[in-house]
Structure 1
Amino acid sequence: MAVEEFWVVREEPYQNDMKIIDAPDQPSIKFPLVIAPSKQATKDEILKEIAQLAAQPSDTSGHSKIRELLDANGGAINIKGLPLKDPEDFSEFLSALAGKGEGAWYPHVHVGMEVLRRPLAKNVMTTNEGPPSHFIGWHNEYAVSPVHPGYLILFCQIPPGRGGETNITSSVALYDRLKKSAPEFVEKCGTKGLVYHIPHTASQVGGIVGGNGLYKANAFGPSNGEDVSTWSEERKKKHVEERILDLAKRGGWSEEASKDVSLPEWQRRGFDWTWEENGDLNVVHRVPGTRIHPTSKLPTIFNAMSTRYTNAKVNNTWEPPHTYKTKDGEEATAIPPYFAGIEKDEPIAAEWLAKMDEWQHKLGSDISWQAGDVLIIDNFAVQHARWAWEGDRKVHASFWDQAGFIGQQLPTSITV
């Protein structure tokens, strides 16, 4: 299938031949879709052609060509052979990809972000600064929060010397397989919801998995970027707590919701937080773990449990207080995944998490990076992970939304 005259479909060894829904009448796809220019092209030619795939003011269906390609190919498009050299080139590419009109994409605004992302160009940021040896497990981007992007776009400026692939897996296929192999787990992901313990450092700390700094505008500081250095501790804490409550409300929590026994437990329980003596903050998010995909209307897993499961498994921290000794002899914490509860949260059975991990491996595709490559991810259809690497690696990120492109809570009565 030719995408357009300018673009051609390529086959790569890392593509996964799969069915999104495992049924005899369902089609097989190569995941992800891989395309490239049919001939050597300049940056200006690339920008012009990618803009033709993006949303147009004349669109009446609400679905751009890029949206149709995402829907037909599992939610991920890997574009290779691009003459993009640096974050500025990538920024120009993003502006063309965003399109125009009612269906255009617009930059995502983060709230409650604990991951440090340094700006590199307009709408371009660094990816997670966790050390190269650190495996970042499968997740839908910021699934820990009620506020998350609809799209994630990655760009490779410098490929890793060894390793460092980005693995992607279909969230819709993951739901389909788990619904059949661990139905109670899938049901509880929706009716109870998931619990995430999110640590926020008081100030910015580079080179770690988090480290954004609590008082950043995209964390829980003033949304207008006001300097809080002259504020009293009482005022700063009050402001942060108000923003946490606002975030919980954006996820459906309210005083009324907390008393409604017909609502899912994540919605009734809401968020908690604990201040540390050094000014750091630990926030507990409770959110649904399943969604309805905005365009396909299929149920999808929407979570960020993989790394938490892996850490608990490696360090054997299944039982409270979930602590272990590091190689340096220091005490650390690795809290395993929990379901939300009313009186107390409920540990998720290790065998269910192992089953999810098994399917994430089976369904995954390891994207091998080359300079100039771009990976477009539908955040409601696809989870991504990052393997460890050696050498240098510069893969940058950008986050986008689209009007009406929202993954709604999954009705508990749905069957697929």
Structure 2
Amino acid sequence: MSFIDGRIDGEKIFEGRVFPKILLPSKACEGNLIEIVKTEREKLEKMLKEHGAILFRGFDVRSAEDFSSVVEAFGHEEFPYQGPADRTKLADRVYTTNAVPLDVMISFHHEMAMIKEFPRRIMFFCMQPSPEGGETSIIPSNIIVEKMEEALPQVVEKFVEGGIFFVLHTKATYNKNGRVVWQRMLKTTDKIQGEKRAKEMLSCNTVKFNSDGTADFTFGPMNPVREFNGKRVMFNRILGYNTGERDAYVAFKDGRPIPLEATKVIERIYEDNCVDISWEKGDVLLVDNLTVQHARRPGKHPRIVLVSLSD
């Protein structure tokens, strides 16, 4: 291969394999990631399945257009984004990442896990790393299940047997353009059409549009543990969050919240088993969205990380 193995601080070993896999350019390849991907595509696909994530570091990728060419080189079909995040297209198949303010943590999740159809792969590109923080954190979802079964077997049993409710609450307005969040998300101002689109696009069971402009989307009861690539993964969010324009909470089937003690254990499992990618300019990160969750640590401006989704 036209790569050499690299290392990063905080990398982990799961099931005898390094996570994530780090690939650096060999002297012979001159840093041309596009041509290398075209040549080594099958090997890279096998590597992604084995390791869950691959970080390409030190290659000559400088712009959104360069990143677009890397994405095309993999030969995967484009997957259109649907969901609550606000994204801007910068090049073919290349978009801005979540516009949530940089000082806010974006919690761990699988991309579009609450949508009926979701991408198999995500690619990130760092055009400008944050001067402080701003790491993208990743964790294998099957490890979450394994660790929870060890520490919280009764909670996992309740997840699997009864399922959970996930309630997404969108705030009234969005600070960029003043539009109501649910209207931007569903691309309509009509509540009847909005409810129809929500149930067609999302996997939600009920939608409630409130008089103050907020909205509540209820998902479930559903089993958050699913199987992909022969692995049992925690595919749906099991912890609540708040990003400013929307928040969410999780409850068992009987409506009771997950106990605080269990929530603290789950949070510790995430923190103990995740890897923070401290971005360097030109980094490209390929993630298996079916088996690996990602998050964003709080950071400072300027930070420019772009994203592309594929099937």
Common fold by TM > 0.5: yes
Assess if the C-alpha contact under 8 Å between 1:152 and 1:399 holds in 2: yes
Which has the higher mean CA deviation after the structures are superposed, 283-292 or 192-201? 192-201
Amino acid at match of 1:107: E
Report 1:174-323 matches (<5 A).
Answer: 174-200=144-170, 205-206=175-176, 213-215=181-183, 219-221=185-187, 236-247=190-201, 251=203, 271-286=205-220, 287-293=222-228, 295=229, 297-306=230-239, 308=241
* Whole-angstrom CA distance in 1 between matches of 2:65 and 2:50: 30
Aligned sequence identity (%): 25
* Whole-angstrom CA distance in 2 between matches of 1:203 and 1:334: 13
Amino acid at match of 2:67: F
* Cα displacement (A) at 1:110: 3.3
* Cα displacement (A) at 1:67: 2.4
Give 3-state SS (helix, strand or coil) of 1:162's partner.
coil
Compare the two structures and name the one with the higher strand fraction: 2
* Whole-angstrom CA distance in 2 between matches of 1:34 and 1:81: 10
Aligned to 2:77: 106
Assess if the C-alpha contact under 8 Å between 1:116 and 1:204 holds in 2: no
Deviations 1:134-186 (A, max 9, x none): 11121122223333221111110001101111111111111111112211222
Do the aligned partners of residues 126 and 212 (structure 1) sit closer, same or farther apart at CA in structure 2, a change above 3 Å counting?
A: farther
For residue 80 of structure 1, the aligned residue among 57, 61, 72 is 57
Amino acid at match of 2:225: T
* Whole-angstrom CA distance in 2 between matches of 1:240 and 1:83: 44
* Whole-angstrom CA distance in 2 between matches of 1:172 and 1:272: 29
For residue 349 of structure 1, the aligned residue among 238, 241, 259 is 259
* Whole-angstrom CA distance in 2 between matches of 1:284 and 1:368: 35
TM-score by length of 2: 0.89
Mapped pair 1:34 → 2:34: no
Give 3-state SS (helix, strand or coil) of 2:35's partner.
helix
Mapped pair 1:89 → 2:22: no
Give 3-state SS (helix, strand or coil) of 1:106's partner.
coil
Do the aligned partners of residues 80 and 133 (structure 1) sit closer, same or farther apart at CA in structure 2, a change above 3 Å counting?
A: same
Do the aligned partners of residues 212 and 298 (structure 1) sit closer, same or farther apart at CA in structure 2, a change above 3 Å counting?
A: farther
* Cα displacement (A) at 1:89: 1.0
* Cα displacement (A) at 1:299: 0.8
Assess if the C-alpha contact under 8 Å between 2:171 and 2:246 holds in 1: no
TM-score by length of 1: 0.68
RMSD between superposed Cα atoms in Å: 2.8
Q: Report which structure shows greater RCO (CA 8 Å, sep ≥6).
A: 2
The unaligned stretches of length 5 or more in structure 1 are 21-27, 55-63, 100-104, 222-227, 252-269, 312-325, 327-331, 402-416
Aligned to 2:14: 19
The unaligned stretches of length 5 or more in structure 2 are none
* Whole-angstrom CA distance in 1 between matches of 2:192 and 2:260: 38
Aligned to 1:374: 284
Aligned to 2:250: 337
Assess if the C-alpha contact under 8 Å between 2:131 and 2:301 holds in 1: yes
* Whole-angstrom CA distance in 2 between matches of 1:213 and 1:333: 8
